[in-house]
Amino acid sequence: MGALAGLRGAMTRYGSREQMHAAAEQAESAREGGSPCASLGDRHRARVCGTLHRVTLRPRSGTPALEAEVFDGSGTLSVIWLGRREIPGVEAGRRIKVEGLVSVVDHHAVMYNPRYELVPTGAPAHQAP
């Protein structure tokens, strides 16, 4: 019985830690002026601020395409730079701001060739203008 209670406690703490991380991401995104990923609609321009979770190279029809997933605490946005094999600084764990036209593909928000700004590491993400 003790092992089961310990497992439940560990699962509760994990869920809480994950929820706290998501809330912190949402707050930081809002401070940076980002639109929540959870509210993005098809064919609307948006600015999304978050952390890059995954960056991969996936050719599309023989053309290189750098794909990344931006997490803002409310959800994720896929960003795809067509014709790019790499972008210096675009790596998992880095904070980024992207702007562009959102398309919804298979119920998931995607932004092609967005304008982007890498948030300097070690610097406050929300600097005064």
Whether residue 73 is predicted with pLDDT greater than 70 in this model: the reply is yes
Question: Does a structural domain hold residue 129?
Answer: no
Helix (H, G, I), strand (E, B) or coil at 11: helix
Question: Does a structural domain hold residue 10?
Answer: yes
User: What are the tens digits of pLDDT across the range 47-63?
Assistant: 999 999 999 998 878 88
Domain span at residue 24? 2-118
Question: Does a structural domain hold residue 101?
Answer: yes
Write the CATH number for 35: 2.40.50.140
What's the domain count of the chain?
A: 1
Question: Does a structural domain hold residue 13?
Answer: yes
Question: Does a structural domain hold residue 109?
Answer: yes
Question: What is the rounded CA–CA span in Å between residue 31 and residue 28?
Answer: 5
Whether residue 93 is predicted with pLDDT greater than 80 in this model: the reply is yes
Question: Does a structural domain hold residue 19?
Answer: yes
Whether residue 32 is predicted with pLDDT greater than 80 in this model: the reply is yes
Question: Does a structural domain hold residue 128?
Answer: no
Question: pTM of this prediction?
Answer: 0.79
Question: What is the rounded CA–CA span in Å between residue 122 and residue 74?
Answer: 24
